[in-house]
């Protein structure tokens, strides 16, 4: 009897722990949710999922609440959702729409759920599948109105999947559909650029002097300088879309300098990336960490999206106008890509969402990106240091109002030309290659790189270190790209390549020590 009572008591305790764990799961998202913009007595709530930082959320939230009240006499509250970077948002939306459509398919349409249905409903390559047609004809919702911020690659994928829908405010826009090879808005009106971004190098002036690095790092190749070993900060391109785009910009420049030969340019880029990775202190999951560590002096330089570098430089600006943190876009090393906004399928509050889109793309909204704090129409608290997408705002009469008057992405020759046929289809492959070649084997890579530096780059060891044939362009296109669509095959290939690279780096280290 006592034994039975003990067992019952044990199971009750288990149930209590299960309930407590469930409570944590339910309450943590509520506790972690960012503060809402607006008032408790709002007439409507607009839900926006975004990778944008607090400064952007504050300025656009504050300004739109005022704008909307003046236009409609109604008060709106903005519920910002910030699960992480663009990659995390993409995964979140995919999961949310999967659950929403499964409910639609099973409970409303009374159809049996299957692996085939799951694979087809958001697959643009299955246009005739009943599940696909049903999804595109539905108004199933993720519970979120807008996707705001990220990269065009991710928005194109969301639009193709059917999660972004056509919005009248995103058609016939007053800025180019493309420039420098970059697409600025979707012809079907499912997304459009809200701001423009380039990629480059953030650097700490004092840390560079301490490393005896001459001048400013004006080219991507500067990050491979042996004087900067252990002093470079990088982000993981499999976790950060902006990091992946930065690496793509580096590759694009190398292909351009190879006369437009993708195979040769890719080879040069892989060698350069490997050397930069040899100098890297780490690969962070968050691209925002790069500028913080460089600003603090924990790293001397790093790869960063332009507004991360400019915004943090502004934050630590001294009274005399100087800053220990600098940012530079390498000459010919980056195009200006769009940072979009789009309306999500099944938006709970579509009319207010469309009003937000209209505001963001209006001159009033666009001024917030780059006007100085306190200027007419400018931000109230934060200089965002972003680039507007409206060409009219780069007119000479606005020069004194802008935080970055020297930057005009629409000026002739201002940006490199992006060639999507070179690397556009290899966006995920780039992250996979960096992961297997430099992240998973980073300890061995750094040891090999240090051995080369310490023994003055012996020829055989250096030649082996620069051998990137395992991930050359043909392999990237014909082997790696197809493999990434199959999770098991991709995992097996990652282990195989990781083992190969670790063995290669150990051999480089041995050859370098032997001065061969």
Give the count of alpha carbons within 13 A of 503, CB side only.
7
Element (H, E) at 54: helix 54-72
Per-residue pLDDT tens over the stretch 493-512: 999 999 999 999 999 999 99
Is 45:77 a contact under the CB 8 Å cutoff? yes
Q: At what angle do helices 363-370 and 350-361 cross, to 10 degrees?
A: 60
Per-residue CA distances from 472 to 366, 429, 449, 466, 475 (Å): 42, 11, 20, 12, 5
Per-residue pLDDT tens over the stretch 331-364: 889 999 999 999 999 999 999 999 999 999 999 9
- The whole-angstrom separation of Cα 375 and Cα 393 is 14
- The whole-angstrom separation of Cα 339 and Cα 148 is 8
| pTM for this prediction | 0.81
Per-residue pLDDT tens over the stretch 57-67: 999 999 999 99
| pLDDT at residue number 33 | 52
Mean pLDDT of the chain: 91
The residue among 435, 428, 416, 424 whose CA lies nearest residue 262 is 424
Q: At 37, is the pLDDT very low, low, confident or very high (cuts 50, 70, 90)? A: low
Q: Tokens in use for 102?
A: 């499964």
Per-residue pLDDT tens over the stretch 187-215: 999 999 999 999 999 999 999 999 999 99
Sheet containing 280-284: which strands, arranged edge to edge? 280-284, 232-235, 301-305, 199-204, 325-328
| pLDDT at residue number 412 | 87
| pLDDT at residue number 470 | 97
| pLDDT at residue number 35 | 54
- The whole-angstrom separation of Cα 99 and Cα 109 is 14
Is 307:200 a contact under the CB 8 Å cutoff? no
Q: At 19, is the pLDDT very low, low, confident or very high (cuts 50, 70, 90)? A: very low
260-270: average pLDDT? 98
Q: Tokens in use for 502?
A: 């670790």
- The whole-angstrom separation of Cα 322 and Cα 458 is 42
Give bridge partners of residue 501 from the DSSP assignment. none
What does DSSP assign to residue 283?
E
| pLDDT at residue number 21 | 40
In this predicted structure, the answer to whether residue 239 has a pLDDT above a threshold of 90 is no
The residue among 166, 110, 169, 101 whose CA lies nearest residue 139 is 101
280-303: average pLDDT? 94
Residue 484 CB partners (closer than 8 Å, separation 6+):
428, 429, 432, 490
The residue among 169, 118, 151 whose CA lies nearest residue 355 is 169
Q: What percent of the chain has pLDDT over 70?
A: 92
Per-residue CA distances from 397 to 118, 175, 214, 401 (Å): 54, 19, 37, 8
In this predicted structure, the answer to whether residue 436 has a pLDDT above a threshold of 70 is yes
In this predicted structure, the answer to whether residue 477 has a pLDDT above a threshold of 50 is yes
Domains and CATH numbers, the chain: 26-82+141-196+337-408 (3.40.190.10), 199-334+419-513 (3.40.190.10)
| pLDDT at residue number 36 | 64
Length of the chain: 516
The residue among 487, 486, 490 whose CA lies nearest residue 498 is 490
Q: At 5, is the pLDDT very low, low, confident or very high (cuts 50, 70, 90)? A: very low
| pLDDT at residue number 22 | 42
Is 200:333 a contact under the CB 8 Å cutoff? yes
Straight-line distance from the first to the last Cα atom of the chain, in angstroms, rounded to the nearest whole number: 78
Residue spans of alpha helices (H) in 297-426: 306-315, 350-361, 363-370, 420-423
Q: Tokens in use for 332?
A: 């010919």
In this predicted structure, the answer to whether residue 17 has a pLDDT above a threshold of 60 is no
Per-residue pLDDT tens over the stretch 363-417: 999 999 999 999 999 999 999 999 999 999 999 999 999 999 999 999 988 888 9
């Amino acid at each position: 009897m006592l034994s039975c009572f003990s067992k019952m008591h044990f199971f009750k305790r288990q149930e209590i722990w299960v309930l407590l764990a469930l409570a944590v799961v339910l309450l943590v998202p509520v506790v972690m949710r960012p503060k809402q913009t607006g008032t408790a007595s709002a007439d409507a709530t607009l839900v926006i999922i975004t990778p944008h930082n607090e400064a952007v959320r504050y300025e656009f939230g504050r300004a739109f609440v005022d704008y909307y009240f003046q236009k409609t006499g109604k008060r709106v509250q903005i519920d910002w959702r910030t699960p992480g970077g663009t990659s995390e948002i993409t995964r979140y939306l995919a999961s949310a729409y999967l659950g929403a459509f499964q409910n639609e398919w099973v409970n409303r349409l009374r159809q049996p759920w299957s692996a085939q249905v799951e694979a087809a409903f958001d697959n643009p390559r299955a246009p005739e599948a009943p599940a696909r047609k049903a999804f595109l004809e539905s108004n199933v919702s993720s519970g979120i109105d807008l996707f705001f911020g990220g990269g065009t690659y991710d928005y194109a994928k969301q639009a193709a999947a059917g999660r972004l829908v056509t919005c009248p405010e995103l058609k016939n826009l007053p800025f180019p559909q493309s420039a420098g090879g970059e697409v600025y808005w979707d012809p079907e009106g499912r997304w459009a650029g809200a701001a423009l971004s380039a990629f480059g190098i953030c650097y700490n002036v004092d840390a560079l002097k301490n490393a005896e690095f001459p001048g400013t790092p004006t080219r991507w190749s500067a990050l491979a300088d042996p004087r900067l070993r252990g002093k470079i900060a990088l982000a993981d391109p499999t976790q950060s879309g902006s990091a992946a785009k930065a690496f793509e910009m580096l590759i694009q420049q190398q292909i351009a300098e190879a006369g437009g030969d993708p195979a040769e340019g890719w080879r040069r880029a892989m060698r350069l990336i490997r050397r930069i990775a040899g100098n890297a202190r780490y690969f962070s999951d968050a691209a925002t960490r790069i500028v913080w560590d460089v600003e603090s002096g924990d790293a001397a330089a790093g790869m960063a999206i332009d507004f991360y570098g400019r915004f943090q430089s502004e934050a630590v600006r001294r009274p005399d106008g100087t800053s220990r943190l600098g940012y530079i876009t390498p000459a010919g090393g980056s195009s200006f890509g769009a940072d979009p906004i789009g309306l999500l399928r099944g938006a709970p509050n579509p009319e207010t969402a469309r009003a937000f889109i209209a505001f963001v793309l209006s001159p009033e909204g666009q001024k917030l990106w780059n006007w100085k704090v306190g200027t007419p129409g400018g931000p109230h608290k934060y200089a965002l240091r972003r680039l507007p997408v409206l060409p009219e705002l780069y007119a000479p009469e606005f020069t004194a109002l802008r935080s970055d008057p020297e930057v005009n992405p629409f000026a002739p020759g201002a940006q490199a030309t992006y060639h999507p046929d070179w690397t556009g289809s290899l966006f995920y492959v780039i992250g996979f290659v960096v992961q297997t070649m430099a992240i998973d084997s980073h300890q061995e890579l750094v040891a090999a790189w240090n051995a080369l530096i310490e023994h003055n780059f012996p020829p055989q060891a250096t030649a082996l270190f620069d051998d990137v044939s395992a991930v050359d362009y043909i392999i990237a296109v014909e082997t790696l790209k197809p493999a990434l669509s199959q999770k098991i095959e991709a995992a097996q290939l990652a282990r195989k390549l990781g083992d190969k690279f670790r063995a290669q780096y150990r051999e480089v280290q041995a050859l370098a020590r032997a001065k061969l």
